[in-house]
């Protein structure tokens, strides 16, 4: 036996300070399996955080009902997006080739799914190594000549530069620990510590 939903209402729930039980959003449905109609209060998400909500279930025709406290878990998004500066043809020389630091460049394109996956990883590395490592992204669609110059045939590709010279390349959406291993391997080789 299947249940047929007669109506579903999703009005906006008023703020807690103005909320009264009669103004809560109600989901009404017919459920033959349970033997009648059931009224359920919809949960409310405030700022995408975990919150306790009151759910009142009452069978139509019965006096009263029972109140249950349940937790609602809502995915909490990052409050700010992490940005990685863009390198373009006009800034390539000053940002990458003439930098006195080691430089990590992520070659990407807006239509590339794996590029979007690796972006937060590059942003985390940029934040963690701020002042020691310069991180940039280069859009291969907007700067094809630079991509061709470095033999970029697949994106995402991450290249490490030091003193304007290509030192290492990682092709594909590599995990953070793989990128960090490449950075550390390069640092150890610079210091003559071979790892």
The residues assigned a catalytic role are 112, 115
Give strand ranges (E) for the chain.
26-31, 36-41, 51-59, 66-72, 102-108, 133-139, 157-162, 165-171
Region of 42 on the Ramachandran plot (φ > 0 left; ψ -120 to 50 alpha; else beta): beta
Distance (Å) of CA 42 to CA 8, 67, 100, 136, 161: 11, 13, 57, 45, 54
- Who contacts 143 (Cβ-Cβ below 8 Å, separation ≥6)? 87, 88, 89, 92
| Tokens coding 137 | 């992204």
Opening angle at CA 70, ends 67 and 71, nearest 5: 155
């Amino acid at each position: 036996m299947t249940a047929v939903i007669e109506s579903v209402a999703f009005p906006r729930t008023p703020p807690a300070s103005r909320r009264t039980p009669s103004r809560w959003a109600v989901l009404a449905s017919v459920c033959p399996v349970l033997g009648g109609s059931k009224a359920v209060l919809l949960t409310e998400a405030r700022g995408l955080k975990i919150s306790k909500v009151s759910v009142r279930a009452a069978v139509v025709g019965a006096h009263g009902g029972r109140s249950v406290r349940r937790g609602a878990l809502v995915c909490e998004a990052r409050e700010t997006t992490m940005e990685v500066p863009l390198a373009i043809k006009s800034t390539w020389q000053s940002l990458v080739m003439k930098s006195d630091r080691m430089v990590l460049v992520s070659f990407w394109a807006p239509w590339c799914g794996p590029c979007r996956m690796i972006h937060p990883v590059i942003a985390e590395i940029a934040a963690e190594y701020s002042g020691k490592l310069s991180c940039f992204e280069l859009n291969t669609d907007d700067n094809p000549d630079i991509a061709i110059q470095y033999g970029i045939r697949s994106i995402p590709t991450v290249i490490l530069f030091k003193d304007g010279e290509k030192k290492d390349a990682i092709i594909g959406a590599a995990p953070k620990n793989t990128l960090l291993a490449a950075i550390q391997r390069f640092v150890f080789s610079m210091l003559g510590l071979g790892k």
